[in-house]
Amino acid sequence: MSFPQKKLVIFVFLLIVLIGVCRLYADNSDPIIPSESARKHYIIMLDKNIDKANMDEFEVSLKGLGVVILKTYRTVMKGWAVDMPEVFVSSLLEDKRVVSVEPDQTGKIYWFLRRFIAS
């Protein structure tokens, strides 16, 4: 086998190895994090006694998972409005610092205002 033929064989071998590694990586993609279409808005409410450092640490870990923090609440309640995959809800509820994880919804208080104004 001549030198150019050996180079060609080595090149083909390396190309096959590279394709195999790429396929292996593609097949082992992370199944835990779903597609963007499965993301929803939630309100995560924490225990009222949580300190700022612990809350900041929790926020960093949420961001590390790909959770998007939309708003942080520290006055009336402690927690966040977030955009995250639905599969994270059950894991968050297992954390003893988390009081609740509820879907973010728009509320209507028209009935209350009418009743309040009428009295």
Per-residue model confidence (pLDDT) at position 72:
94
Closest-CA residue to 61 (of 35, 36, 92): 92
CB atoms closer than 10 angstroms to residue 110:
7
Per-residue model confidence (pLDDT) at position 109:
60
pLDDT tens by residue, the chain, 119 residues: 677 777 777 777 777 777 776 666 655 555 455 555 578 999 999 999 999 999 999 999 999 989 999 999 998 899 999 999 988 999 999 999 999 999 987 766 665 566 566 55
Per-residue model confidence (pLDDT) at position 38:
72
- pLDDT tens track for 55-85: 999 999 999 989 999 999 998 899 999 999 9
Q: What is the Cα–Cα distance from 77 to 73, expressed in whole angstroms?
A: 6
